[in-house]
């Protein structure tokens, strides 16, 4: 279950589905790569969170998977996270 402030923030952006799968699918439309980590018991006690969502150089702590996805999604929607443009550098060969 998401905290009320997260639900309200998502609603202001037009997102009413707050289950884990819907939030993950919505996040994946904006972010090409992320890492979700379930913390072991001792770091969870130390950092007071059970999950960590890593998106590039930003970390979002949460008590549930749905909350982690919601925090990452809000960062994207509020402009606090900008994914890298998907550009590939051409391969170059060096002749010696």
Please give the model's pTM, rounded to 2 decimal places. Answer: 0.82
Q: Whole-angstrom Cα distance, residue 10 to residue 40? A: 29
Q: Whole-angstrom Cα distance, residue 67 to residue 60? A: 9
Q: Whole-angstrom Cα distance, residue 46 to residue 54? A: 18
Dump pLDDT digits (tens) for 23-74.
999 999 999 899 999 999 998 899 899 999 999 889 999 999 999 999 999 9
> Residue 85 is encoded by which pair of tokens?
């443009």
Q: Whole-angstrom Cα distance, residue 51 to residue 49? A: 6
**How many other CB atoms are found less than 10 A from the CB of residue 63?**
15
């Amino acid at each position: 279950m998401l905290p009320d402030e997260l639900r309200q923030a998502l609603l202001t952006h037009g997102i009413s589905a707050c289950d884990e799968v819907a939030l993950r699918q919505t996040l994946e439309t904006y972010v090409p790569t992320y890492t979700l980590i379930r913390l072991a018991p001792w770091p969870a006690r130390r950092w007071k969170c059970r999950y960590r969502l890593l998106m590039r150089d930003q970390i979002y702590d949460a008590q549930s998977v749905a909350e982690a996805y919601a925090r990452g999604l809000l960062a994207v929607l509020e402009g606090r996270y900008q994914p890298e443009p998907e550009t590939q550098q051409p391969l170059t060969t060096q002749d010696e």
